[in-house]
Amino acid sequence: MGGGPDFDLDDAVGRAIDHNIVVVASVGNAPRDFLINYPAANDGVVAVAATGRDGKHASVSVKDAKVQLCAPGVDIISASPKDGYSLGTGTSDSTAIVSGAAALVRAKFPDLSAKDVINRLTSTADDIGAPGRDTECGFGRLNVFKALTADVPPLQGAATSATPGATTSTVVAPAATPSSAPAAAEPKSASSSMPLVLGGLAGLVVAGGLVAVLVIRRRRSF
């Protein structure tokens, strides 16, 4: 979906990004749309445009400097509520394909941050327009195979979770260690508990003596 700016939408997208979620959105379809839609226009969102059957930028796809990726978006077979399946054309279809690619990347590299997932998708894209990033397909046309197999160094400062043998740039805070965890009640040593033991024995002795004295006095009274 896409549309104009909305405060609630901005808040929802912001919370998703803060929680390390990859947000993918369509840029919009010409001629109905002439400006990039929201939330694709939001910072941190993967803005997706469409390519046609020829593998090049589709005329239906809105152009904008915030476009990051292109994916097939013309005559895409998709589910339809009424007819079961139908041919669809538009950047919504392209967005579904990029979302699926992001899911595949996270399935293969579960420790990657959302930013690293996006970086892997954009850095492995096929540059089909002007050299470098452009307003039609951004960094290029999605290449799922390269996104899953290429050697892509992690971004500096991107949060990842540590796993054995994994190469990471920044590791999330580890679980609390004994030195940082709240101090648990430690068993008392023999030296610290000895006074309590002796005090308890002394109390028993005194109590026993008092009982003996009372018994003797009671016997004498009879």
- Indicate if the pLDDT at residue 163 is higher than 90: no
Buried b (16+ CB within 10 A) or exposed e, 81-104: eeeeeeebbbbbbbbbbbbebbee
Distances (CA, A) of 37 to 33, 77, 150: 8, 23, 31
Residue predicted with more confidence, 159 or 113? 113
Residue ending a domain, choose from 129, 144, 171: 171
Give the count of alpha carbons within 13 A of 71, CB side only: 27
Residue 2 in any domain: the answer is no
CA distance 84 to 104: 26
Q: What backbone phi and psi angles, to 5 degrees, belong to 44?
A: 90, -10
Nearest Cα neighbor of 121 from 136, 135, 104 is: 104
SS3 state of residue 91: helix
Write down the pLDDT at residue 158: 58
pLDDT tens-digit profile of 102-118?
Answer: 999 999 999 999 999 99
Residues 199 and 104 in one domain: no
List the structure tokens of 72: 């097939």
Residue predicted with more confidence, 191 or 109? 109
Average pLDDT of 1-10? 87
Residues 109 and 38 in one domain: yes
Residue 182 in any domain: the answer is no
Residue 178 in any domain: the answer is no
Residue 49 in any domain: the answer is yes
What's the mean pLDDT when you consider all of the chain? 78
Residues 96 and 52 in one domain: yes
Residue 210 in any domain: the answer is yes
List the structure tokens of 166: 């994994």
Owning domain of residue 203: 188-222
Lowest mean pLDDT: which of 15-24, 72-81, 94-103, 117-126? 72-81
pLDDT tens-digit profile of 62-98?
Answer: 999 999 999 999 999 988 888 799 999 999 999 999 9
Residues 55 and 105 in one domain: yes
SS3 state of residue 189: coil
Residues 161 and 193 in one domain: no
CA distance 33 to 192: 79
- Indicate if the pLDDT at residue 14 is higher than 60: yes
The number of distinct structural domains making up the chain is 2
Q: Where are the alpha helices (DSSP H) in the chain?
A: 7-18, 91-108, 114-123, 144-149, 190-221
Residues 149 and 50 in one domain: yes
Whether the predicted model's global pTM rises above the 0.85 cut:
no
Residues 148 and 220 in one domain: no
Residues in the chain: 222
Residue 1 in any domain: the answer is no
Pairing of strands 46-51, 24-26: parallel
CA distance 139 to 145: 16
Decide: 137 and 69 in contact? Cβ < 8 Å: yes
CA distance 102 to 121: 7
Residue 125 in any domain: the answer is yes
